[in-house]
Chains A and B, each alone.
Chain A
């Protein structure tokens, strides 16, 4: 009996330690992806960093309620999307509090180029194409932008995007189709 009462707190402490280690591993694995999505959504590195921290703080608080019905990445992405939506909603409601934004300009965002382009001409062409895609992304609605970035930057499957956004797969496809049409038009395509 005495051994049982001594063992129980030790087991709970061990479980807590195990959960903490598991969560640390989740943070280390998924933080870059969450930050990247938020950076692409906001074009503001400081805001993306803040929202990423908020995302993992919220995830830590609710870690016990995560049942593993979806992947941890999808669950975290859902939290990040909701935080981002809340941020813009609050900003609209409290417009007198925050008057300046640190969002990077579209042309400045295009300065980051894939390093594998060999010639100067190829780099220039790639830069122009990236700028055109950024311009198209800037003109998308919030949902279209989220779906587009999850598909074409994070390379998530449609089913995962549907889980992360809380939309049906059909709606995800429709948003993606409209977003691609906009990108295509920006690139000068006729279709």
Chain B
């Protein structure tokens, strides 16, 4: 146990976390402190090391180096089962048994935990009442994901791990999952969630760590991270021809310029100042505008600004 006064308020603490798979540095030195009761997001593209990080914290993967403390305990140092009794886990890509029904699956998982919700309560929480006697094999993607969440919540965990919980789901199914996560948080539970959807991170997370190549490249509340762009508006455009980027960065009201593939991305403090100047500059340089969009800054822009790449390739 950590003796510092803040220990009680910290749910998970990682120091110098490293994980190598052969030559791949999946996790390359991650330090984290996740507070009790917060919803903490690991945001990053596929292959950034989010899943490896969360599975190390879950005690499913041993780190190559570093130290992990979960709810004041360490994996393998004491009673792992007592610790697991307090955790709820949803893994990426688990296929539950197709031949069991929804209710049988929840009942099975309930039997593993010393304390927990009633099966009835869990089914109601996940809105699976109509499907309780349906075999898992017949469920839709969204229903399967709700069942996976039900299995994670049936032990009434203090700490909930969600690994890409809404990947591949339609907007309605995604909304249903978000509601449950928010309800869990209001009840005082701590959530760690990985995602590559920036809307998901903005909507659910109190704090977000942006992860790339096994490292944390930004950490803060979604609002703080977005504010760090120093922009009210993002202007994204493609040009037919080249222009001196120094000209773009020096435009009135422009905070920063960076590239995202072929596109130019301009962080702008005051759109009304920058836009006419931009068009005039393009005109002067004799470069034609191919496309142009503007939007409110998002976590996606934070990622693009720091890495020069998009969060999602699709």
Q: Do A and B come from one complex?
A: no
What is the interface of chain B, defined by CB distance below 8 A to chain A? none
**A interface, CB within 8 angstroms of B:** none
